A and B are shown apart, each in its own frame.
Chain A
Amino acid sequence: MRNKKRFEAARLPAGLAKAAAAATIAMASLGANAQAAAGIPTGGPTSTAATVKARQHMFGFENVNPSNGDVRRDRVIFAWLTTTTFAVAANGKVFLLDGYIDDDQVVAPPARKRTPTGLQELVDLKPEWIFIGHGHGDHTHYIANVAYRTGATIFGAEEHCTGMQVDAGRQFGTGASVKCKAVLAAGVPIGATNMDLPDLKPALCLNVMRQLHGAATPPDTSIPFNGIGFRDGEDPREFELWGTGPLEYPNVKASGGGGSLSVLYQFTVPGARAFSFSVYDSVGPYKELAPQLIPALNAWPATDVLIGAVSGANNPTNGMRDAAIYIRDMQPKVFVPSHHDESQRRRGAAGNSGEWWKRNLMTSMTHMGIPEAQQPEVRWLNDPYDYVRPSLLTFDPASPRWAKTGARTNATCS
């Protein structure tokens, strides 16, 4: 979700947008006259050693080659970096899902920074790809900066790519651009898909679907009320435990291109199990606003691990019903929540309310008629302790657990 108060993302000038949208893929380059704007950090990864260090932090030192930073190929590893941003290593490829760090602040010792990572570490991580879930700043602020400085390819809808070129130009000067691949054409309707994309092969297979951004709807009277307030369950100790300070990179902002246009991604690791994970970074009330997604998600290829936003504008009235509906329709074996940390804190709550939110989701799943035996394993994430804690989210794609025995078929992936 967007934090209007904090982010104040600039609107896209129409002329600039047209120019930037000319190509779906543009090579990252510094134009002849390019010069970084004030307050914009520049330069690529600090060193190979810094990349090794960042990857060991994100993926566990035992999984990273200390000489070159390669990550073991036989695991899929996620590190939660706040909100809906994750660092991922899959089949040896390193990439980001979204690109924003909440509370990336300068905190004076002895106070401690609550968020254990920041923009420079994302650059040092040297991701190969960055996937945009939707365009709001709390998902995209750092993406153009990281992509420009590392050469990473951005993926998103065409509207997102347009916004990224604007961001590159604003940060690094006229003529600066980033590589961005549009996986959905401009203006496609909710429910439109693009399947078995070749871009990540042979390492991974990719499916995408335009999905629905979060929104508030009236209380669903077909189920018991289960609303949750954004301040519910806050930890009053938090402001003593963690320091605060000014943002470290206040000028590194996204223009918000693509706005609430939301993309669902599915990644599949080639192999006998076709281990698959799907990701969405905003949870929409599609029961009311986009019912065509119900059959679309019911027909979505089998998903083993679903990483999904649980927090949105609908929480106060409908709790986590919408997240439960995604789970109902996609039937993952494991569900990992996201976005609940930022949603709570930006509304003035102290944070660390994960247990309370977890219970709301469990209740919502029951309300949505998911029998307990069919509910996924919920691997909850509690902030801030589960930030950058990769062992919680390390998966072996070869495990028999991922064999598909139900009606759903594996994603096409060869």
Chain B
Amino acid sequence: MNKSFKFPLRPLHMALAGAGVALTIVACGGSSSGDEPGKPVDPVVPAAPSAPATPALSEQIAARTHYFGAENVDASTGEVRKDLVIMSWASNTTYAAAINGKVVLLDASLVRREDAPGRTPTTLQELVALMPAYIMLGKAAPGHADLAANIAFRTGATVVGAAEHCDVVEDDARRQQSWNGSAKLLKCTALVPKDQAVGLAVNTLSLPDLQACIRAVKHSDEAVTVADATLPAATFDWSLYSDPRDAEWWPAGTAATDGIATAGAVTGPSVLYHLTLGSGQSFGMLWNDRVGSLKEKAPAAATLLRSLPKTDVHIGSVDVGNASSNGLRDAALYIQAAQPKIFFPAGHDAASQRAGAFNTGELMKRALEEAIDNVGIVNPPELRVNFDPTDYVKPHYMTFDPAAAGWQQTGDKASATACN
């Protein structure tokens, strides 16, 4: 156990932790920071892990400026403008988002995490300095939740996920802090009850501070390995077309030495989230950090996915488990069900690096286009591809005005009218 991870528990953690959660609730969680970057709270609880050092305000402002753009962040307070949804890709399926001026992390993990910014141009410390109010988890497993407990503990952010995710991050925090007391270390909203069946329900959560309604569906990342005989044959090899310049341009730095990781199991539940945002609840986003063969393994989840309100922007994993037998079909079927106007692929960097290739986004894009054609999507979305590493932490590519008229189009699915 690394004692350097021991930080004091803030009173707010203790007050909220263990309070329990309910479905279809109005939550007022988030960090104690409000719209401005947070300030440290004096520790008052004895025998609790020792105090975290909240990043200096200048560090918080620098982090938010990096992630959300100088024109969108107040240079003296760190406040992020509220009228835009601004997102930055941090790698794999992890994004930092500014929603109604609050910072929200979608997953919390970094590919090739190093002690200093390198090919992945950000660090754990910078994620902490963002002072997120929420950390939403799609999967509490390596690659998705490695840093969640640490960030939540140090910032007071509320984790949102399945009940099993809450257990994982709480255990991670305790292990990291060497804490075995009765008080919980983290705030966590279990939006999906423990052991809920895949595809059973749309679980809703109203977050007024984000002006958001969140709908969570438990889905599955299981994949069939037999080719879908109803579709044209398709295959994709993540190891192809690696950029031979990558190693020279981005030599490996010092891998993060802090040992921070999650012990969550890869077999844990997968949750996808739909967010309706803005005062008019007219802008819809979907994020799934895992992708499975819903057609065969979780048809009920596919049905729920189709039932969700209008999706304008869909950020979805294309890191399928059956690329060799079905190409990117599984990712395309999520798109077909959600009917987004814009689709951002996610997880392709991690998938190709696992296979030993780098910067292969163009090939992935073509494979996804083929899959979209094969499954017969009538109105395919505009594909906006983030290329690694040049599009890491590039917020301008993922900035959206929820009030833009362009989000309302003839033929849209119904917009959400209430958060239930």
Contacts and interface: CB of A to CB of B under 8 A. Distances in A.
User: Interface residue tally of chain A, by bracket?
Assistant: 35 or more
A389 interface: yes
A394 B400 CA distance: 11
B384 interface: yes
Contacts of A396: 71
Contact of B397 (A112, A240, A389): A389
Given A236-B244, A399-B71, A385 B387 contact: yes
Interface string B109-148: 0000000000000000000000000000000000000000
A333 B382 contact: no
Given A61-B406, A63-B406, A392 B249 contact: no
A391 B71 contact: no
Interface string B397-419: 11111001111010000000000
Contacts of A5: none
A333 B70 contact: yes
Contacts of B361: 385
Contacts of B81: 399
B3 interface: no
A226 interface: no
Nearest to A396: B71
Given A64-B406, A385-B387, A399-B72, A391 B396 contact: yes
B70 A391 contact: no
Contacts of B405: 62, 65
B225 to A, nearest CB: 27
Contact of B404 (A63, A377, A385, A399): A63
Most chain B CB within 10 A, of A61, A72, A379, A393, is at A61
Contact of B384 (A65, A391, A399): A391
Contacts of A393: 396
Contacts of A394: 396, 399
B71 A401 contact: yes
Contact of B245 (A233, A241, A389): A233
Interface in A366-414: 377, 379-380, 382, 385, 389, 391-396, 399-402
B390 to A, nearest CB: 6
B71 A402 contact: yes
B373 interface: no
B341 interface: yes
B121 to A, nearest CB: 12
Contacts of A400: 71, 74
A391 B397 contact: yes
Contacts of B243: 235, 237
B394 interface: yes
Interface string B243-259: 11100010000000000
B296 interface: no
Contacts of B362: 241, 385
Q: Which residue among A62, A65, A66 has the maximum number of chain B CB atoms within 10 Å of its CB?
A: A62
Interface string B358-395: 00011100100000000000000010110100100010
Contacts of B363: 241
B397 A392 contact: yes
B241 A241 contact: yes
A401 B241 contact: no
Interface in A188-213: none
A350 to B, nearest CB: 11
A44 B359 CA distance: 40
A392 B243 CA distance: 23
A333 B399 CA distance: 19
Interface in A47-82: 60-66, 72
Contacts of A380: 390
Contact of B390 (A333, A382, A391, A401): A382
Contacts of A379: 396
B407 to A, nearest CB: 6
B143 to A, nearest CB: 25
A64 B382 CA distance: 15
Contacts of B398: 391
Contacts of A239: none
Contacts of A389: 397
Contacts of B399: 391, 394
B397 A72 contact: no
Contacts of B245: 233, 235
26 contacts: A62-B405, A62-B407, A63-B406, A66-B409, A233-B245, A235-B243, A235-B245, A237-B241, A241-B241, A241-B363, A333-B70, A354-B390, A355-B249, A380-B390, A382-B387, A385-B362, A385-B385, A385-B387, A385-B390, A391-B384, A391-B397, A393-B396, A394-B399, A396-B71, A399-B81, A402-B71
The 8 tightest CB contacts between A and B, nearest first, are A62-B406, A401-B71, A399-B71, A62-B404, A391-B397, A392-B396, A401-B70, A385-B387
Given A236-B244, A385-B385, 18 more contacts: A60-B406, A61-B382, A61-B406, A65-B405, A66-B406, A237-B241, A237-B244, A354-B390, A356-B249, A377-B70, A380-B390, A382-B387, A385-B362, A391-B399, A392-B397, A399-B71, A399-B72, A401-B71
